[in-house]
Amino acid sequence: YGCLPGHGVKLADAIQAYIQAVLTGPLCWVELPDDAWPDNIDFRKFRRPVVRLVKALYGHPDSGTMWEQHCDWKVRELDFIPVGEEWPSMYLQLLLVIYVNDLKLAGPEENLTKGWEMLRSKLNIEPETDLGLYLGCVLSKGSAKLNDGTPVSTMTYDMEGLLKLSVEKYLDIVGKDTKLKNVSTSSLPEETKKHKSRAPCPGNPKSKVSGPWCSHEFDPGAPKFD
């Protein structure tokens, strides 16, 4: 969506996300470290003092659920509409993706700033940034041309850094003097416009086929989309 003409994508993190949510469910009591007690309370006169946990502190088994529900309620109050059960934590108005405390917002450039302002009216969020590291993957926009010369916008998901760390970990285990072979990439670019996998199924062109994931009915005899 962010690759459409005049559209963009911005990233931001929620600040101390979990403790923005109230902890519900069974009551939970926790011990505080000495330096966390207020000066006006002589906690040392108690054998093992505890306090009531009221925020969804990281480490509690239900804190992630509490934050997810809190975040969902807040963005719905702003009229963001969930895409559907099959795409949890994705919302429409602008296209909003929320993964734990990482937020990504895509849409028309002139609406992105207003979108972040709306979100900050309900959630504590850091200033948005341009594309970069998101969920361990470096995102970047670019441009390219199709085989027929049509210009298109592109989105690159670069996980080279993780691959290098994996190789370094492998060498730590088997020995740094291990020689690695040069091999071809396993993901060569290809033209898939006429590939057989684009057709819903072979067989009777008059019969309709239901897609197993989207439940949409396709007509195998109909012209394919370019």
Model pLDDT for residues 13-66, shown as the tens digit of each residue: 999 999 999 999 999 999 999 898 988 888 888 889 999 999 999 999 999 999
pLDDT of residue 202: 54
The structure tokens 């690159």 sit at: 156
pLDDT of residue 106: 94
pLDDT of residue 200: 55
The structure tokens 């341009």 sit at: 130
pLDDT of residue 86: 79
SS3 content of the chain, % helix, strand, coil (to 5): 25, 25, 50
Q: Which tokens sit at 21?
A: 């949510």
Asked whether 176 and 182 are in contact (CB, 8 A), the reply is: no
How far apart are alpha carbons 38 and 73 in whole angstroms? Answer: 33
pLDDT of residue 151: 87
| 124 contacts: CB under 8 Å, gap ≥ 6 | 14, 15, 16, 20
Look up the pTM and report it: 0.70
In the chain, which stretches have pLDDT less than 70? 186-226
